[in-house]
Amino acid sequence: MELLAQLPQNLVSGLLLGGMYALIGVGLALVFGVMDIVNLAHGAFLMVGMYTTYLLVNHLGLDPYLGILVSGPILFVLGMLIQRLVIKRIATASHMNQILLTVGLSMVLVNTAQLLFTADYRQIRTSYAETVIRIGSVSMNLAYIISFFLAVAITVGLYLYLMKSEFGRALRATSQDIHAAQLMGVNVQNVQMTAFGLGMALAGAAGALLTPVYYLYPTVGENFGLKAFTMVVLGGMGSVVGAALGGVTLALAESLGQIFVGHELKDAIGFFVFILVLLFKPEGLFGRARA
């Protein structure tokens, strides 16, 4: 087993996948870390983003990456609607009720997709995904590279926005002390709705970035539901940048870990890391870099 020979490829693969993971983690960080909603439908949101991208590419002939500009706002509005109609009512309910409600929501979204698109799997073919860049023994798919940089750009943009904007301040205030925020004149209702919309839009963006390199089918999000929580926990609750780093860390752990435990158990690595972090470093690996 030429461990060293495999290392560079696995590093690069993990890092590129990490970009997508980062966006998934950041989306959940807003909903779970900041708003304290235990949302198991995050994987389904990713799936909705993927199908939206698929429709834009197939029926409007849009470029999948430009599609984010369309699918992002669509999912943002959809997220706000879901928050207003459903999530709002359980914001203060027990965590178990939140979980079961979001499981129900996930079933509804997944099975709606199944009725609309059947269980068949689909993929979009782009010239990016056909282009391969080789550096030494390492091969990189251009689509992965673009997706990675876009993911980084979106995360950085979001971070700056949250740091600088009025909304960012209101969001931080709300997540720290909802009553105090209300007294200070923050419209808490709107903040929570916007945060959920943003979370869904980010999951959708991650879906859009995955579409060119992956394939879509209604249950595609299942793999990412619990993983997203791992990323948020790794990054430290409430930290947007932390969740992004958590996503990259998890992707690297899976990619490097499988050299030792094989591909079959790579998902177990994530769960294992999740439990260890909860037990020994509950504040997350990246401290409390509050965003």
Residue 86 within binding range of other proteins, rule CB under 8 A: yes
Phi-psi region of 61 (alpha: psi -120 to 50; beta: other; left: phi over 0): left
**Please, which of residues 209-248 interact with other proteins by CB under 8 A?**
210, 213-215, 217, 219-220, 223, 226, 229-230, 233
* CB of 173 vs other proteins, minimal distance in Å: 22
Pick from 38, 46, 162, 248: which binds other proteins (CB under 8 A)? 38
> DSSP alpha helices (H): ranges in 118-139?
127-130
Pick from 15, 114, 182, 281: which binds other proteins (CB under 8 A)? 114
* CB of 163 vs other proteins, minimal distance in Å: 27
Nearer to other proteins, 50 or 186 (CB): 50
**Please, which of residues 245-264 interact with other proteins by CB under 8 A?**
255, 258-259, 262-264
* CB of 125 vs other proteins, minimal distance in Å: 6
Pick from 77, 121, 180, 287: which binds other proteins (CB under 8 A)? 121
Binding-site size, other proteins (CB under 8 A) = 74
Do 151 and 65 contact (CB within 8 A), yes or no? no
Any idea of the CA torsion for 189, 196, 284, 181, to the nearest 10 degrees?
A: -10
* CB of 218 vs other proteins, minimal distance in Å: 10
**Please, which of residues 143-202 interact with other proteins by CB under 8 A?**
none
* CB of 110 vs other proteins, minimal distance in Å: 8
Candidate ranges 45-53, 107-115, 185-193, 241-249; the one touching other proteins (CB under 8 A): 107-115
* CB of 4 vs other proteins, minimal distance in Å: 10
* CB of 108 vs other proteins, minimal distance in Å: 4
Pick from 55, 63, 91, 122: which binds other proteins (CB under 8 A)? 122
Question: How many other CB atoms sit within 10 Å of the CB of residue 180?
Answer: 11
Tokens of 152: 């980084």
Give long-range contacts, CB 8 A cutoff, 24+ apart: 1-9. 3/259, 5/137, 6/259, 7/256, 7/259, 8/136, 8/137, 8/138, 9/137, 9/138, 9/139
Pick from 73, 77, 94, 156: which binds other proteins (CB under 8 A)? 94
Pick from 59, 60, 61, 134: which binds other proteins (CB under 8 A)? 134
Candidate ranges 45-53, 60-68, 105-113, 190-198; the one touching other proteins (CB under 8 A): 105-113
**Residues 6 or more apart from 130 whose CB is under 8 A from it?**
none
Tokens of 65: 């990456």
Do 72 and 6 contact (CB within 8 A), yes or no? no
